[in-house]
Amino acid sequence: MAEKQPAVRMRHISKSFGQVKANHNVDLDIYGGEILALLGENGSGKTILMNMLSGIYFPDAGSIEIQGKPVTIASPRDAFEHGIGMVHQHFRLVNVFSATENIVLGLDESEGFNLKAASEKIHAICEAYGFDVDPNQKVYEMSVSQKQTVEIVKLIYRGVDILILDEPTAVLTPQETEKLFAVLRNMRNDGKAIVIITHKLHEVQEISDRVVVLRKGENVGEMVTAKSTTQQMTNMMVGHQVTLNIERPTPVDPVERIFVNDLTVRDDEGVPKLDNVSFSAFGGEVLGIAGVSNSGQRELLEAIAGLQSIESGSIQYVGDDGQVQELAGKDPYQISSMGVALSFVPEDRLGMGLVGSMSLTDNMLLRSFRDGKSIFADRKAPRELAEKVVDELEVDTPGVDTPVRRLSGGNVQKVLVGREISSSQASFSAPMPYAAST
Amino acid sequence: MIHIAKRKEMPLLQSMAIRGLSVVLALVICGVITTILTGLNPIDVYVTFFSGAFGSARKIWILLQEIAILLCVSLALAPAFKMKFWNLGGEGQVLMGALATAACMILLGDKIPNALLIACMVVYSIVAGAVWGLIPALFKAKWNTNETLFTLMMNYVAAQLVAYFIIVWEVPKGSGKIGIINQSTEAGWLPQIGDYKYLLNIILVAIITVLMYVYLKYTKHGYEISVVGESTNTARYVGIDVPKVIIRTMLLSGAICGFAGLLLVGGTDHTLATTIANSRGFTGVMVAWLAKFNPFSMIASSFLLVFMERGASEISTIYALNQSFADILTGIILFFIIGSEFFITYRVYFTKKSEEVEKADV
């Protein structure tokens, strides 16, 4: 046999959700002793493809072979039986249980739990691969990275040889990422097949042996990591030539637009989310906010937009005429009534910002429905705006009466951005906090 | 193996065909069950079923009246449910409206001019219903309490209040019943149009139907209700005052329920009983959901439910079967109607394990 036997061979896999084709005729081979990076933009169908391998979804068409044998994977339990396990982006752990309890949860309990033996076995796994887990620690006391480790150990404990990690580094600091990668390399050297789903190119370069690129739900090609450049990967991912070296001219005449001063925000449980944060944002520049997920970025942006109640501190907006206005403690409607041209494009576009079941027109109406004295909502202007947005931003939609939910992620984004830009007249001079979903 | 997947949008014609088919299937099953259990000829049973609803002019009037009241309660619930506020308190809100109406008729009857009395009845019944809707709304808006339990519990409070006042006002003493209020003077009875006892109720509910359609579809309030119902986060994001919308909508919902109470006591029954709402507060939920909160579709869904109920109860009466048999038939019919919605939204398909494997081998 000239070729190595793949651990997993997926052929002609297709999956649709309503009218949305999530995966179309995808072929994918996964080999033992190799780290495969599944690369693609948001919404390119990476997670859905892997969910079909791990038994969350069932493909509409296509076949899956494990170690050369055709199989049907209809549930996560089936997937475990075939040695496939997945660490999801959002962990699936029981907070009040210890690491050991979480790891044995859902196993066949016919012989009863032997937690002591289990924790010894967990210990052995940790020793072998270099994990750092205290089997008796409760999940709620753990850091995000520890929780992730528990998820991985859980899979190894169950004898998984094909390990799928969905965006594993999104929640990790650079140091934690290094540690994770070291462990993944150990596992690869042990002969396990590892798939990591990602859209971060430098990580692909660093950890993977082979890259498969998905675009719009289709497999558009693969390459050996060592022989390819990030430029090649990007081009394949996006589908056309992209310049990675964006010119960044120094902002011309930056004017201070927003001062945030000693901003403190606590969540419902009283845990501080923002602790005395101060900064200024200037007109004419793009300000990036860096940090591991869930470090308070969302709270910060929501506080500025008037969606988050603030414990202390101030948020001041400087208008074009130099007039300073306090935004803290105002709701979004009050902010826009003050004439402050501020737009906030939220992270979760269909959960906040747009109404999925409503048409494009009705979504445009969200910003303007209060206009006029009449008790009736005026849909004429929003309809024109919707048509304009569709036209100018090249939104791919059957019409302005189509529910937004049926559009693809990128088009949904365009609808939202289109509305926000038009609703704030001075939008380009106004700051536009933008939360990317990385 | 059975798989369930969400369908693409189904054309209206096809979905109506599925709904129609489900009603036909329901009737077939009902016929079969009736025949098996009672040995009656199924054709006769169907004829009786239809004659229960349409058998005589009087029966048709009763059918229309029943539709009107059920539709009125459903229209009241529609905005609340569209806002995803689970108002299961329609029953209590109707009862409070009925109680307020009866109180006016008993306490003010013959003391003030009839026109003024009726005006009082309208105002107080609406206010009573609205207050009963407002209380859970305030708690939801201020402290995010669970409205499902809250509104449900308010029903029992309302029923107890009505039971109490029935004893206070009972005629004759000791009977535990109020009897027909102002039977001799007809004070506070809503005017009758010509010879048609139920026509006024029907016309009033028809007007409410149109108003509710316009309110939900074209007004700013209606738009706010949809946004809050679909996503409170989006509502907050565009600066909609969510607690205000909840309170306002529940005031409206309770007010229309209270108005339904007025129609029942002042318009048709002229008496007060704890069972006067007859579970319409719950049936109305079904009417509203089946029609996807479109007031005009709700005419059809309330017709369907009332027609089925009248037909089923006619079978029980004619063939000397008890009320439980009518309930069984109604249950079967509802099962099919609601079940058809599942097949409209989802596609079910089967695959065999062995087949999959064969395909994979090729």
Put simply, whether B83 touches A (Cβ < 8 Å) is no
Nearest to B229 by CA among B339, B70, B77: B77
Question: pLDDT (tens digit, 9 = 90+) per residue, A263-300?
Answer: 998 887 778 888 888 988 887 777 888 777 778 888 88
Nearest to B264 by CA among B60, B45, B102: B102
CA distance B13 to chain A (A): 19
Between CA A79 and CA A81 the distance in angstroms is: 5
DSSP B65-121: HHHHHHHHHHHHHHHHHHTT-----HHHHHHHHHHHHHHHHHHHTTTS-HHHHHHHH
- Residue B170, amino acid: E
ipTM over 0.90: no
Chain B residues whose beta carbon lies within 8 Å of the beta carbon of residue A19: 8-9
pLDDT at B91: 96
Half-sphere exposure of B270 (CA within 13 A, CB side): 18
Per mean pLDDT, which of A28-37, B249-258, B286-295, B331-340 is the most reliable? B249-258
pLDDT at B8: 67
Has residue B354 got a pLDDT over 80?
Answer: no
Chain B residues whose beta carbon lies within 8 Å of the beta carbon of residue A344: 237
Put simply, whether A354 touches B (Cβ < 8 Å) is yes
Has residue B135 got a pLDDT over 90?
Answer: yes
Chain A residues whose beta carbon lies within 8 Å of the beta carbon of residue B238: 332-333, 366-367
Nearest CB among A331, A336, A351 relative to B233 is that of: A351
Average pLDDT over chain B reads: 89
Chain A residues whose beta carbon lies within 8 Å of the beta carbon of residue B226: 355, 358, 362
Has residue B131 got a pLDDT over 90?
Answer: yes
Between CA B152 and CA B233 the distance in angstroms is: 26
pLDDT at A424: 56
pLDDT at A432: 38
The reported pTM is 0.77
Give the domain ranges of chain A. Answer: 8-238, 255-340, 350-433
Nearest to A57 by CA among A44, A46, A43, A69: A46
Contact check, Cβ <8 Å, A355/B5: no
pLDDT at B352: 56
Between CA B96 and CA B322 the distance in angstroms is: 31
Q: Decide if B131 contacts B96 (C-beta within 8 A).
A: yes
**H helices then E strands: how many in chain A?**
13, 14
- Do strands A312-318 and A324-326 pair parallel, antiparallel, or not at all (unpaired)? antiparallel
Spell B201-225 as b/e; 16+ CB within 10 A means b: bbebbeebbeebbebbebbbbbbbb
pLDDT at B299: 95
Between CA A77 and CA A99 the distance in angstroms is: 20
Chain A residues whose beta carbon lies within 8 Å of the beta carbon of residue B218: 376-377
Between CA A303 and CA A309 the distance in angstroms is: 7
| Smallest CA–CA distance from A350 into chain B, residue | B234
Put simply, whether B353 touches A (Cβ < 8 Å) is yes
Sign of CA dihedral A119, A121, A123, A125: negative
pLDDT at A112: 67
Put simply, whether A182 touches B (Cβ < 8 Å) is no
Cα A358 vs. chain centroid, distance in angstroms? 24
Contact check, Cβ <8 Å, B357/A377: no
pLDDT at A165: 93
Q: Decide if A63 contacts A48 (C-beta within 8 A).
A: no
CA distance A132 to chain B (A): 39
Nearest to A192 by CA among A75, A338, A336, A30: A30
Chain B residues whose beta carbon lies within 8 Å of the beta carbon of residue A350: 231
The CA dihedral of B246, B252, B253, B257, to the nearest 10 degrees, is: 160
Rounded mean pLDDT, B121-144? 95
Between CA A143 and CA A337 the distance in angstroms is: 42
Q: Do domains A8-238 and A255-340 have the same CATH topology?
A: yes
**How much is the CA Rg of chain B, to the nearest whole Å?**
23
- Do strands A8-17 and A20-30 pair parallel, antiparallel, or not at all (unpaired)? antiparallel
- Do strands A255-266 and B346-350 pair parallel, antiparallel, or not at all (unpaired)? unpaired
Neighbours of B150 (CB within 10 A): 18
Question: pLDDT (tens digit, 9 = 90+) per residue, B66-95?
Answer: 999 999 999 999 999 999 999 999 999 999
pLDDT at B362: 36
**B interface test, pick of A21, A27, A64, A72 with most B CB neighbours within 10 Å:** A72
Backbone angles phi, psi at A254, to 5 degrees: -65, 135
Q: Decide if B281 contacts B92 (C-beta within 8 A).
A: yes
Rounded mean pLDDT, B110-134? 95
Architecture of domain A8-238: 3-Layer(aba) Sandwich (3.40)
User: Listing from the earlier edge strand, what are the strands of the sheet with A69-71?
Assistant: A20-30, A8-17, A61-66, A69-71
CA distance B161 to chain A (A): 38
Chain B residues whose beta carbon lies within 8 Å of the beta carbon of residue A305: 237
Chain B residues whose beta carbon lies within 8 Å of the beta carbon of residue A57: none
CA distance A23 to chain B (A): 15
Between CA B118 and CA A438 the distance in angstroms is: 64
**A interface test, pick of B218, B220, B240, B350 with most A CB neighbours within 10 Å:** B220
Rounded mean pLDDT, B85-110? 94
What pLDDT tens digit does each residue of chain A (438 aa) get? Answer: 446 788 999 999 998 876 678 888 999 999 999 999 999 877 788 888 999 999 888 888 899 999 888 998 888 888 888 999 999 888 888 889 888 888 888 776 666 667 888 888 888 888 888 888 888 889 888 888 888 889 999 988 888 899 999 988 888 888 888 989 998 998 899 889 999 998 888 888 889 999 999 988 888 888 898 888 888 888 888 887 777 666 777 777 777 888 888 999 888 777 888 888 898 888 777 788 877 777 888 888 888 888 888 888 888 888 777 788 888 888 888 887 887 777 777 777 777 888 888 999 999 998 888 888 888 888 888 899 899 888 888 888 888 888 888 777 778 888 888 888 776 543 333 333 333 332
Contact check, Cβ <8 Å, B238/A377: no
**A interface test, pick of B8, B219, B237 with most A CB neighbours within 10 Å:** B237
pLDDT at B203: 95
- Residue A164, amino acid: I
pLDDT at A423: 66
Chain A residues whose beta carbon lies within 8 Å of the beta carbon of residue B237: 305, 307, 332, 344, 346, 352-353
**How much is the CA Rg of chain A, to the nearest whole Å?**
25
pLDDT at A95: 87
- DSSP label of B11: P
Name the CATH code of domain A255-340 (choices 2.40.30.10, 3.30.70.260, 1.20.58.1610, 3.40.50.300).
Answer: 3.40.50.300
